Structure 1
């Protein structure tokens, strides 16, 4: 006879089984949730009226104004991706740094950060920079593992640097404002760019033959014409992104309104650069529609699953399990980061955000961990999902556009140092919470004292073991 106590682990195990078999995530979530929902009604754990909340929750998702910012920011990025912005930025910046060892790698990282703030998609950044810079790096003698690694890693900056779609989704799941999430992510995104640049600087000193400078014949005219070319390609884009983020930070616009303004700015930039066409707009809108539909379907499936999971006291079961790990906050943070790191081998960041994060939030709150800091920490961790050999999507994108002479093993081995750098950033965020809190307004976000690594007080002796079920 099934009891209420065994239902949460059975639901979780059933979901894992469906995902391992390979069923689509959105439908796996909904199927598991509905199956255990009807089973719970038959067993008397809750009534049919409880499942009557499902249409209301689904309507709440579809009418959520915050989630409307997802298609706006996606459309903004899709327009800028298709109007040749990456080519202009990378070509000019590559010429600017080309005379020094590692110059092309520096250019890829810097342009990757700018494109990440503009396009918001890893695929766009990796494919654009791979098609432009990889042939040049191969032609002038770059080590293949360094070349492929820096291209794939620079594309993943997109996940952390505002206005990241991941931060919007995490903010909605953790019930925190997107402005706070963006402000908290500024420090880690800057630190990540500095870590990547520092790694290339070390390689250029220790093994300069792996990152040679461009020869003189490959360099164009220097001086103010080159500087003007770089500024002309970068300044309008940077102004657009600072305008979008600035209106959010100053409270002048909601994320949805700022996203709509960003779309208008992207169209104006494309018109100014004489790249705007109606087919370009249709392609961008089609890409936006597919991404938005995927996000909404996953979110609806996650809502079905979470409603039933909470109905069988799954929240209490998981909170009890996580809040009683050895070491208090330390044990919780270690477990969560290792869990997310390995889960990212198999699940996309949207799936992790919709399935796992709502289950972790109550335990984090119970342990006194501020959810803005926690969300940024998870965002930094989840970006490693794009660099995991052999399943990282950034590696797949790069493999798809790389010449056949580039070995897959070089792409995989080249990714490992950058995964290590991303994990170093996870440690920095844990040990130095001010990297997240510094840009937050007073009274919001994280109080550094709230993320002290210390054990929670022992629970009162209630005479019971385990979670208290209804």
Structure 2
């Protein structure tokens, strides 16, 4: 009976979030309310809550999670110092004279921005403000312009180095160890954030390539929808000045992780310092802007860790009510074994992506279903990449996709909401195709980490 109370608690959290209450306090408040009611009714053991201080200390003491505020700082500096704006202008000058060239520029710059911020809302809003007016004025079909920006903004879920992958890697590592202990493996292996970064590289680059192919095909078949820009050639030195520094920064951060020269946390520190030096060199950083950058970084970091605290309390109470055992039993009874269980989990995560951000799903849902699926024999890197692309697709899907709402908030009134919805459909098909390919060929996510581990 208490297991069903856990499911009722989960439903209560979703309902409360839909009413607009803050995520962190919704998770913690709902968990405490149900725990108090369960203690009074005699169906909840209060001793479960005694593990909370140890969990919170372990979270704050987790060196991997230090990468989160550092990557956030790096992304905010690149955004506030107008480095992204200059990079877009430089890319547009390189590709603008080609049909579909401006769209290609938006995809490339959005990919770099998504990798540096890892936050869907920040990327979509920034690219919407920077590139949407240019694309519309350049004669691009509104739906194509909107779809390109929304799809590119969601790449922050999968392109490393990504905050989403940092958080997901940390949670999956704990879930993997828990799964191995449940199988009486008392020297459990771990999966690092760096492994997840490496595993996401090929699927992420495949998505970027398919996005660009789609824009080029549209420009070739229907030139009026993605015309070339009318502009004069610019000197190579001017282009290099705008392109090389941010590209070099991203390459150093990601390359140091891939070759094993630095941990994600160390690389995040290098990236944050590098972004600050880059902004200073461009004369785009003073004390006032630094204070603004620090404040924005602190706000996002506090949000992430408050959600983590609320999620830790929620998962403890959920487990105390026997919710984990109930879900484990449910998965065991599903037809199709591990295949059926994985399909159900992916569908649930996709639907939850309509009402929850990746942080909530990572901290609340993955700790519940992750150990069960991994105990069934799934590869943790493959599962992490599948979840990331699944959420990326959910955030792009009408009518509830977060990316659509973010762009709608900054787009001019002349851009119809229906055009935004129509524009993302081809990109959703591309993402689903990559998801199916990853399902059919798991080596897309597991081959490169295995090669670099040798």
Pairwise CA distance, 1:44: 4.3
* Shift of residue 27, structure 1, vs aligned partner: 1.7
**What is the number of equivalent residue pairs in this alignment?**
437
Q: Matches of 1:22 and 1:110 in 2, distance apart?
A: 34
Correspondent of 2:269 among 260, 272, 275: 260
Q: 1:240 matched to which residue of 2? A: 249
Name the residue aligned to 1:331. Answer: 340
Q: Partners of 2:339 and 2:451 in 1: how far apart?
A: 26
Distance 2:34 2:374 in 1: 27
The one of 182, 189, 193 aligned to 1:178: 193
- Does structure 2 conserve the Cα–Cα contact (< 8 Å) formed by 1:90 and 1:129? no
After TM superposition, the structure 1 = structure 2 runs for residues 365-404 of structure 1, keeping only pairs within 5 Å, are: 365-404=374-413
* Secondary structure, aligned partner of 1:404: coil
**Offset of 1:142 from its aligned partner?**
1.3
> Does the Cα contact within 8 Å between 1:118 and 1:237 map onto a contact in 2?
no
Change (3 A) 1:228 1:324: farther
TM-score by length of 1: 0.87
**Which of 281, 295, 307 is matched with 2:304 structurally?**
295
**Could you tell me how far apart the structure 2 residues matched to 1:400 and 1:32 are?**
30
Q: Spell out, residue by residue over 1:245-278, the C-alpha distance to the aligned partner (whole angstroms, 9 max, x if none).
A: 2333343333222212211111111122221212
Match of 2:129 among 128, 131, 145: 131
Residue 37 of structure 1 aligns to a residue whose secondary structure is: helix
Q: Which moved more, 1:156-165 or 1:247-256?
A: 247-256
Against the structure 1 CA distance between its residues 390 and 229, is the aligned structure 2 distance closer, same or farther, given a 3 Å change threshold? farther
Aligned residue number for residue 146 of structure 2: 148
Distance 1:228 1:117, change over 3 A: farther
Pairing 1:259-278 to 2, within 5 Å after superposition: 259-278=268-287
Q: Within 5 Å, give how 1:181-330 maps onto structure 2.
A: 181-214=196-229, 218-222=230-234, 225=235, 227-330=236-339
Q: 1:29 to 1:444 in 2, by over 3 A?
A: farther
Q: CA deviation at 1:419?
A: 1.9
2:9 is matched with which residue: 4, 8, 11?
11
Aligned to 1:157: 155
Write the distance in 1 (CA, Å) between the matches of 2:245 and 2:453. Answer: 31
Q: Structure 1: any 5+ residue segments left out of the alignment?
A: 446-470
CA contact (8 A) 2:112 2:250 kept: no
Q: Which runs of 5+ in 2 are unaligned?
A: 174-190
- 8 Å Cα contact 2:111/2:159 also seen in 1: yes
Normalising to structure 2: TM-score of the pair?
0.90
How far off its partner does 1:7 sit? Answer: 3.0
Is the 8 Å Cα contact of residues 89 and 230 (structure 1) preserved in structure 2? no
Decide whether aligned partners of structure 1 residues 403 and 312 sit closer, same or farther in structure 2, where only a CA change above 3 A counts. closer
Aligned CA-pair RMSD? 2.1
Higher helix share: 2
Q: What SS does the aligned partner of 2:448 have?
A: coil
